[in-house]
Amino acid sequence: MAQPNGDHNAAAKPPPTPSPLRFSKFFQSNMRILVTGGAGFIGSHLVDKLMENEKNVIVADNYFTGSKDNLKKWIGHPRFELIRHDVTEPLLVEVDQIYHLACPASPIFYKYNPVKTIKTNVIGTLNMLGLAKRVGARILLTSTSEVYGDPLIHPQEESYWGNVNPIGVRSCYDEGKRVAETLMFDYHRQHGIEIRIARIFNTYGPRMNIDDGRVVSNFIAQALRINQWLDYTPLS
């Protein structure tokens, strides 16, 4: 997980002073956490973990690719709130940490409306960084291996700058996440915001849309369909 270090951190200011209540025993055990995109595949598993760890969790999601169904076991829980919200609009909530996952991750969905995808990455991340600055929260961005583009070195080190196409049909996602990372580091250097960035590679597991269009789900879906075909094909 990329954290500010080395020359990235050369001119960072100290983080904004969080509320003194933040450090009392009470608030530590009831830390308030915002998860944008929390109704999605990875976000909903993160919510499960945060809830099991006794946190107060607020999920903001526009249900573009996620579903309330992924969170049904927490709806009505006293430490859980679910808001239908598009992160391209500002959101003002008192929180201690922000996990910013809101973004369509499947090529099928992010290419459906590329302008919206890059708005979510740029304006959505700006809104979440503005909130982090306002309330003194630490913020994590889920980035992606796509920031390396079509890498010329394997495996990619976090220090690798990538080999990217700024005008391709996938650039709304790749470049969107690159700009989001830039904004994260600029808010860290300019305002001292505590940041974390996780560049997620191919993930798969329960709650992933089967027709997600990503490599692993494609492989599994095709394997399942071939099996079904074999089941129905009369043996000659």
Ligand X SMILES: O=c1ccn([C@@H]2O[C@H](COP(=O)(O)OP(=O)(O)O[C@H]3OC[C@@H](O)[C@H](O)[C@H]3O)[C@@H](O)[C@H]2O)c(=O)[nH]1
| Contacts to ligand X by CB under 6 A | 37, 39-43, 61-66, 86-87, 101-106, 120, 142, 144, 200, 203
CA 136, 46, 85, 184 dihedral sign is positive
Catalytic-residue membership of 63: no
Omega before 90 within 30 of 0, i.e. cis? no
Measured between alpha carbons, how far is 77 from 37 in angstroms, rounded to an integer?
19
Minimum distance from residue 102 beta carbon to ligand X (Å): 4
Minimum distance from residue 229 beta carbon to ligand X (Å): 28
- When computed from its CA atoms, the radius of gyration of the chain, rounded to whole angstroms, is 19
Name which of 63 and 219 has its Cβ closer to ligand X. 63
Q: Give the DSSP letter string of 186-214.
A: HHHHHH---EEEEEE-S---TT--TT--S
Name which of 86 and 194 has its Cβ closer to ligand X. 86
Which of 99, 110, 148, 173 is the catalytic position? 173
Name which of 33 and 105 has its Cβ closer to ligand X. 105
Catalytically active residues are 173
